[in-house]
Structure 1
């Protein structure tokens, strides 16, 4: 039997644009062998020729002990590569047998009908995985494939002792939600709930009505492999109708994700029950909601940094269907390309389109050229998405060759001391935080000043959300307790070391604590490049060039201070929606889009401030009929007039 299987391996016929393959799954009982037909058919939105099918979103899983599916080739009159036979009937002869993973096999056995065929698209069968050119071409089309599927079927795996209770719990809790205008609610960081849920959510001290068994079931479900896969983000976010399945149990995806978002609002309860594991799993799940309204490649990469991808090039390719901007069409999906080349092209194309260098913050002492991010190495390093060190300016730079680029920026500070940690153990991380606090604030917490505590918290916790009431006083007390060698709640300990994990703490010539990449040393330069959102640590080389070490959180350089000086007293940046577009908030709570540090500076002649319908500003030049999002009062010319010393750095 094995020899027969090996002798009849399924052979793919080539595909041409705009064809895709579909699997017409034969009916059968659960234990019957899998079989079906492969049909090539036109899938073209431009031609308005889109077949009817359902797409499966699943995790490939272990491929070492595959199952098999017998496949026939079914000619189709709609295909550019297959021609119907004279009598227009497909052959019943088996064309061959294809090996498939056990997880896909289980999905197909649960999805096939007892009578009648079911038309499906699943990548490992419908794409010839051994043809790199075809795989590259078809993956470019996956966005359209999932977007136009009648339904996306999320296969979470076989049932276990917890799964039925988990699905039942989520379905019951989703009944608290009013799904009217749910997209608008998500965009504004809120959840519309029915009246019966309002009181429960209003009182954060009241526990959710879940038993320990329900919490255990939720944790078991959310820890499944599917939730960690990168590709599934695109598959779900582009779908129009989605159903999640665990064995024979199913739930509408909108109910699933809505219930998770609602449960996540009860953070105190979560932390009390399962402080670490559930928080991580819930955060991964919430990422789907955050990503729904994001089109900036930087934020998409940041929110998927801890997802799993078999091929490191998929760190970019798996997100192109979600990214916005004409640059996306310029990025060719080509699995013959070197990984470094894929990352380099993504950095350059996205930076030019978005006119910023946010992707540069994913550099972390990578191999040369060091200015090219290594998106795969950051999987266990939490990205820093907030801050606006120099986002008020456009990018000023030029690619010299594959290994060199020059950028303009401001030399701001120098590392003078390495505080640690030497490794990534919890004790080393805690010891580094205490050492840094004592080094910067002093050994006696009673002598600390609020302004200095805020600077230290900003360095290690990154977001200025933490340095304003009511958070700052509590964090101050927890930090003081740690310095006194007292025990603090686990969730607060994790908060202090979260960004430090994978990074090191340093002291600088200006006397500030600074979080930066591992491996920096005294003499390394802290620079703010134009168009970047974070300071960058660079190392001077003997030939006058610089190596990029990575991003840093310098408390005096996070909000444009290197270019515009400090924010006026009491002003802050507020991130109010899931679009992650901050506004400037005054001491009285009023908000505005214009940087208050530019308010008293006259606009250059010929420049006009205008406003879009969504209340965001842009500046128009009538003489050349051009507009820009960058305030012309913060151009290189205007900054130089104000005494800002801007240098050119060659990075290699």
Structure 2
């Protein structure tokens, strides 16, 4: 392909103009003729009827030629990715069958209709993408050759299953219906096809969220037939699924947003569990992790102006501030402690509470569920009391200081740990000396468990402290309360009459009995309840469990509007000035016991 053959974009005449690809129909469906089209300019406010293609670029290099006809000059070529070329070829065949007399169809494809080499045009077009998809006659979803259904036949009969979710609420027939649901699922659909569809990388891409939320969205099958997602959604509602798969989590979010499309109240809220899922999704360009959500969050992220040249750090800082300010919520701060891994961003010059929305750190995904799902109210259910500085660099919060972290901080607990059933391990002899006169306790676990090594070493450090017995007892009681809260959940944060008698020992014996009780309830397997974090004690002998970055000198604070305590780090030379470390679980505070009785007693924290 010579330089004269290469297609060169002409600038659009106005900021409200878009390009449409007019795809020519081949006379013969089996023709080897390549893809041929015209590119026309249209008004975004009154465009002709067109289809919008939703697919993933998938990291492929453009290698397939697209022939673009230019009046007077003839044919030129634009290279597109193989995945895009296959989608257009199948769409061409599909439209040929549906519209036998039509010689061409209009399609909007981002990689073709936007001049990707012009940053200014890309910024304008990206800002209109939600509107472009919304105005389309139909959104065609292409999952890729390895993931799209081979034909619509294997999934087309999903529609009759729509009755199952509704009648499932009859508790008298719950078990029978569950069995019937599983039986019919295997009868009416190809389970392999459904599993392959779930694994599609399409569900993990953040841009597809707003593209997909269209009432007439249809899956393009490999045989070029279309399957309305409304029908497929019925099957997905009753089919079994694996919540641990990132693709399954992304698929669930797509389905939820699809079901809510068309409502006046947009379903996505910037500081909810949906954001946690979005953070694990992918984008080719870091800024797109924010820009792709503008249409789903018009009252918050929709206020941001799309600028593909704006520094990434500034985009993330502005997005975090808007989520706090416009939502009136501090929930987004739960994500601010994730490792800042996006390259090229001067994180040391940005506020510590800025979220890295494109981080590769997956630590917070699923490993601290009690930070997101547990029902607790350390601040007594109070509303946020906050104020940003004029430059937006610091946020002033109100709360209560409840402790300072000492040098007694554990190693980092693993996300999981091998445990072999039936093997026993006793506490270290130095710990047993502290338990003199008490019955020996054993853990039913593999003594090579990294998890229990860390816990045992931490208990040994406590037992070896040169402190009065009364303080050691206070520390062990606090640690028991903390472990019991984490293992049992917030509803069991207090010792109660239902607590097993084996947990009523004193000193470190009580701590070991908590772990042993948890092991017995999991088939003598050691459950890693403390995941990817550190245990610590404060100078007041109160135990806590926090994110991995906690260290000596940090302070534990209860913040108005946050359900969990947070770790803050005092800044050198700045009285009352802190940087954000992350959330924590703190013994004796999770139910609001340490919260101030009067709002006038709250302290001021400047977080920078």
TM-score (norm 2): 0.72
CA distance in structure 2 between the aligned counterparts of 1:466 and 1:146, rounded to whole angstroms? 49
CA distance in structure 1 between the aligned counterparts of 2:494 and 2:457, rounded to whole angstroms? 19
What is the aligned residue count? 514
Which of 581, 600, 603 is the matching residue for 1:549? 581
Question: What secondary structure, in the 3-state scheme, does the structure 2 residue paired with 1:527 have?
Answer: strand
Using a 3 Å threshold, how does the CA distance of structure 1 residues 196 and 562 change in structure 2: closer, same or farther?
closer
Q: Tell me if 1:301 matches 2:275.
A: yes
Partner of 2:85: 105
CA contact (8 A) 1:174 1:258 kept: yes
Partner of 1:382: 365
Q: Tell me if 1:311 matches 2:312.
A: no
Which of 390, 396, 409 is the matching residue for 1:406? 396
Structure 1 unaligned residues grouped into runs of 5+? 74-90, 180-190, 265-269, 444-448, 566-637
What pairs up with 1:82-481 in 2 under 5 angstroms?
91=71, 93-94=73-74, 96-113=76-93, 114=96, 116-158=103-145, 163-164=149-150, 170-178=155-163, 191-193=165-167, 199=173, 208-209=182-183, 214-237=190-213, 239-248=214-223, 249-264=225-240, 280-291=246-257, 292=260, 294-299=267-272, 300-325=274-299, 327-364=300-337, 366=340, 367-368=347-348, 369-377=351-359, 380=362, 381-382=364-365, 384-386=371-373, 389-390=378-379, 392-401=382-391, 403-416=393-406, 417-421=408-412, 426-427=417-418, 431-432=450-451, 456=483, 458-459=485-486, 480=516
CA contact (8 A) 1:9 1:98 kept: yes
Partner of 1:577: none
Q: Tell me if 1:36 matches 2:17.
A: no
Q: Tell me if 1:23 matches 2:25.
A: no
Question: What secondary structure, in the 3-state scheme, does the structure 1 residue paired with 2:319 have?
Answer: helix
CA distance in structure 2 between the aligned counterparts of 1:412 and 1:174, rounded to whole angstroms? 56
Using a 3 Å threshold, how does the CA distance of structure 1 residues 510 and 294 change in structure 2: closer, same or farther?
farther
Question: What secondary structure, in the 3-state scheme, does the structure 2 residue paired with 1:36 have?
Answer: strand
Which of 565, 568, 571 is the matching residue for 1:535? 565
CA distance in structure 2 between the aligned counterparts of 1:105 and 1:20, rounded to whole angstroms? 21
Using a 3 Å threshold, how does the CA distance of structure 1 residues 64 and 288 change in structure 2: closer, same or farther?
closer
Deviations 1:267-300 (A, max 9, x none): xxx6xxxx676x5543332222444463321224
Which of 2, 5, 8 is the matching residue for 2:6? 8
The Cα of 1:153 is off from its aligned counterpart by 0.8
Question: What secondary structure, in the 3-state scheme, does the structure 2 residue paired with 1:407 have?
Answer: strand
Using a 3 Å threshold, how does the CA distance of structure 1 residues 255 and 412 change in structure 2: closer, same or farther?
farther
CA distance in structure 2 between the aligned counterparts of 1:201 and 1:560, rounded to whole angstroms? 40
Using a 3 Å threshold, how does the CA distance of structure 1 residues 97 and 564 change in structure 2: closer, same or farther?
farther
CA distance in structure 2 between the aligned counterparts of 1:507 and 1:405, rounded to whole angstroms? 28
Deviations 1:335-358 (A, max 9, x none): 111111111111222322222222
CA distance in structure 2 between the aligned counterparts of 1:649 and 1:151, rounded to whole angstroms? 51
CA contact (8 A) 1:242 1:253 kept: yes
TM-score (norm 1): 0.67
The Cα of 1:22 is off from its aligned counterpart by 1.1
CA contact (8 A) 2:7 2:78 kept: yes
Structure 2 unaligned residues grouped into runs of 5+? 261-265, 341-346, 420-447, 464-475, 504-512
Which of 63, 80, 85 is the matching residue for 1:66? 63
Partner of 2:606: 650
The Cα of 1:63 is off from its aligned counterpart by 2.7
Deviations 1:376-428 (A, max 9, x none): 22652327434555563233222253644433332223334433326656459
CA contact (8 A) 2:395 2:606 kept: yes
Using a 3 Å threshold, how does the CA distance of structure 1 residues 424 and 466 change in structure 2: closer, same or farther?
same
Deviations 1:239-274 (A, max 9, x none): 12111123125422122233222224xxxxx6xxxx
CA distance in structure 2 between the aligned counterparts of 1:57 and 1:218, rounded to whole angstroms? 20
Please identify the structure whose Cα radius of gyration is greater.
Answer: 2
Deviations 1:55-93 (A, max 9, x none): 1110111332521212235xxxxxxxxxxxxxxxxx374
Using a 3 Å threshold, how does the CA distance of structure 1 residues 450 and 536 change in structure 2: closer, same or farther?
closer
With 214-223 and 386-395 compared, the bigger mean Cα shift is at 386-395
The Cα of 1:459 is off from its aligned counterpart by 3.8
Question: What secondary structure, in the 3-state scheme, does the structure 1 residue paired with 2:388 have?
Answer: strand
CA contact (8 A) 2:571 2:579 kept: yes
The Cα of 1:543 is off from its aligned counterpart by 1.5
Question: What secondary structure, in the 3-state scheme, does the structure 2 residue paired with 1:16 have?
Answer: coil
The Cα of 1:504 is off from its aligned counterpart by 4.1
CA distance in structure 2 between the aligned counterparts of 1:506 and 1:430, rounded to whole angstroms? 20
RMSD value, Cα: 4.3
